Amino acid sequence: MHTLSVQTRSRCQLVDVTADIQKVVSDTGLKTGYVICLVPHTTAGITIQENADPDVVRDVLMKLEQLVPCDDAGYRHVEGNSDAHIKASIMGLSVTLLVEEGRLVLGTWQAIYFCEFDGPRRRKLHVKCVQA
């Protein structure tokens, strides 16, 4: 298993980590198999989304904020980051990707995004390469 460090710069942010994960695949020499990416945090997640138009990422963050606002006084969790926990649950904590010929199998416009909801912070992203 490899652990990547992801530095986030704002409270809510999607960080494209595709190149970092591809580097792990390349460095391990994996040719055919799959990769499991896991975020070991309760206020962050991971997703696969379009990378061609940055407005998609902005729209995802905007809609999550509309669905789960950070300033809702109804939350009971005293740390003040209940929205981050909920958003992380919505996005999920892991993705699994196929690897063929040493490359991640992604669609033309797809990228892997680390999802920060309680930043800025230095976060971890675990990457496990499995030979098939």
Domains of the chain are: 2-131 (2.60.120.460)
- What is the model's pLDDT at position 75? 87
2 three-class SS: strand
Phi–psi pair at 22, nearest 5 degrees: -60, -35
CB 4 within 8 A of CB 124: yes
Which residues have C-beta within 8 Å of that of residue 123, sequence separation ≥ 6?
Answer: 5, 6, 7, 8, 39, 41, 44, 114, 116
Start-end of H helices in the chain: 18-28, 54-67, 82-91
pTM of the model: 0.96
Question: Which strands sit side by side in the sheet containing 122-131, from one edge to the other?
Answer: 2-7, 122-131, 33-38, 94-100, 103-104
Any idea what the Cα angle at residue 110 is, between residues 22 and 102, rounded to 5°?
A: 30
The one-character DSSP state at 114 is: E
Identity of the residue numbered 131: Q
Q: Measured in whole angstroms, how far is the alpha carbon of residue 105 from the centre of its chain?
A: 17
User: What's the pLDDT score for residue 74?
Assistant: 87
**pLDDT tens track, the chain, 132 positions:** 999 999 999 999 999 999 999 999 999 999 999 999 999 999 999 999 999 999 999 999 999 999 999 886 788 888 889 999 999 999 999 999 999 999 999 999 999 999 999 999 999 999 999 999
